Amino acid sequence: MVDADQARNPPVIVVGVTGGIAAYKSVTLVRELVRRGADVTVIPTASALRFVGVATWEAISRNPVQPGLFDGVAEVRHVALGQRADLVVIAPATAHALAQLAGGFAADLLGTTVLASKAPLLVAPAMHTEMWDNPAVQHNVATLSDRGVHLIGPITGELTGGDSGVGRMAEPLDIAERAFGLLGDQSWSGRRVLISAGGTREAIDPVRFIGNRSTGVMGVALARAAIQRGASVTLVHAHLEVPLPAGVVGISAGTAAQMRDAMVSHAPDSDVIIMAAAVADWVPETVSDTKIAKRDIGETWAPVLVRAPDILAELGAVKGPGQLLVGFAAETASKASEREASARAKLASKNADVILLNTVGEAVGFGDVETAVTIFFNASPQSLLVEGTKTSIAERLVEALQDR
């Protein structure tokens, strides 16, 4: 995951850990930041060290941890860490930490580091619901937010006392995703992106379905690329062979009908919609409640299939002003000119703005393989050929959509 540029010039991240039980989860956060190529220095507060000790932070961050304000005075550490940081993350941030940040207190190394840093600050609060709801805490959160501090979470879920509610720290991998988003190109910040991915499966009976060979790699890679540029991404997914990327809102929709409903209901709130899913074109007219046995059928079987909704066309028909609708065209014709003509026809008939032509076949096009995608824009006779792995193509596609 560490690319050559990062290895030469890794982003410098300071992770402040304050004294809540979620401190143990920040071990995963630090590990993920390091795994993705960051140079991480951890500053635990005195209270945080009661939960997780220096040895753990040093081992995970692979950097020395000197938590005292008067450690390393000769190197002027109380400001040096903040000055060289590209990003400061505080996770978990207790109610007390939020008050300190809002008040600009500098009584400990984390306080001086934050004040000395011009880098973006990402804060992941964690506390019990009552504390989070307290007007004093909310006032501090509003102050930080007004000041441009990035907040992530808290999320709703089980809390330490066995009760549940809002107050859990955001998931460590989501915090890491957001951190990398803040470090890089944030040109998609504020954009709401809706992506479909994976292959639908249409039941015939309780054990059989009609499916396709889609793995979901392209849709997931597009989601990740958009998140890394700061977009908020909803991923409506059918069958996937890869995990959901951290930071997306995932909505499971296994069949064409479920996917249609999910896409249609989320589309009005989306700026960019990308139909990367392989959706069934026909679905069984009836689904048997019991397994269909050979004795009921005989030697040949022709189940009746009916047309599934064309989701892209439906979204195209109700496309709002300023909305960008992107589709794929999966083509297998051997002549490039035929594949291109079919892709352009889909672009026009479905009222999409962009269509991505993917050449598919049994051995090409599925999984994170080297492939080639040609991009056609409705407003232009020109096309753009992008080659590479699907992950790298996704990056380039998001760049190509940037100005549209």
Any bridge partners for residue 329, and if so which?
A: 357
Q: How far is the CB of 188 from ligand CTP (least distance, A)?
A: 20
Does residue number 277 form part of the binding site for ligand CTP (CB under 6 A)?
A: yes
Secondary structure (H, E, C), 231-255: CEEEEEECECCCCCCCCCEEEECCC
DSSP for residue 286: S
The residue among 279 and 401 lying less far from ligand CTP, judged by its C-beta, is: 279
Tokens at 337, concatenated: 């000119």
Q: Give the tokens for residue 258.
A: 């479920």
Reading the block at residue 68, the tokens are 């005292």
- Maximum alpha-carbon separation in the chain: 87
CB of 346 closer than 8 Å to CB of 327: yes
Q: Does 328 bind ligand CTP (CB under 6 A)?
A: yes
Grouping H, G, I as helix, E, B as strand and the rest as coil, residue 15 is strand
50 secondary structure, DSSP code: G
CA–CA separation, 42 vs 360, rounded Å?
Answer: 47
Q: Let me know: does 356 contact 334? Beta carbons within 8 Å.
A: no
Quickly tell me which residue has 């499971």 as its tokens. 252
Closer of 175 and 312 to ligand CTP (Cβ): 312
In the list 110, 312, 325, 386, the residue contacting ligand CTP (rule: CB under 6 A) is 312
In the complex, minimum distance from the CB of residue 318 to ligand CTP, in angstroms, rounded to a whole number = 13
Given the residues 63, 134, 140, 212, select the one marked as catalytic: 212
Active site includes 212? Answer: yes
Minimum CB–partner distance for residue 310 and ligand CTP (Å): 4
Choose which of 114, 327, 359, 366 interacts with ligand CTP (CB under 6 A): 327
Other Cβ atoms closer than 10 A to 111: 22
Q: Should residue 90 be labelled a site residue for ligand CTP when binding is judged by CB under 6 A? A: no
237: tokens are 């997914």
Residues touching ligand CTP, count (CB under 6 A): 14
Q: How far is the CB of 382 from ligand CTP (least distance, A)?
A: 21
Q: Is 281 in the site for ligand CTP (CB under 6 A)?
A: yes
For the chain, counts of helices (H) and of strands (E): 15, 19
List the Cα angle 325/331/334 in 5-degree steps. Answer: 150
Q: Measured from the CB atom, is 60 or 263 closer to ligand CTP?
A: 263
326 token code pair = 């992107």
* Out of 224, 237, 346, 390, the residue judged to bind ligand CTP by CB under 6 A: 346
Question: Considering only residues 231-260, where is the footprint of ligand CTP by CB under 6 A?
Answer: 256
| Cα 340 from chain centroid (whole Å) | 31
Contact positions with ligand CTP (CB under 6 A) in 8-47: none
Interface pick for ligand CTP out of 275, 347, 375, 401 (rule CB under 6 A): 275
| Span near ligand CTP by CB under 6 A; candidates 112-120, 128-136, 328-336, 369-377 | 328-336
Is residue 330 at the binding interface for ligand CTP, with CB under 6 A as the rule?
yes
311 lies in the binding site for ligand CTP (CB under 6 A): yes
Interface with ligand CTP includes 329 (CB under 6 A)? yes
Judged by CB, which is closer to ligand CTP: 48, or 308? 308
* Contact by Cβ (8 Å): 163, 68: no
Q: Which stretch binds ligand CTP (CB under 6 A): 44-52, 227-235, 238-246, 324-332?
A: 324-332
Rg (CA), the chain: 25
Q: Which of 279, 347, 354, 373 binds ligand CTP (CB under 6 A)?
A: 279
Shortest distance, CB of residue 186 to ligand CTP, whole angstroms?
27
d(CA 90, CA 123): 5
Place of tokens 């400001």: 79
- The set of catalytic residues is 212
Q: Which residues bind ligand CTP (CB under 6 A)?
A: 256, 275, 277, 279, 281, 308, 310-312, 327-330, 346
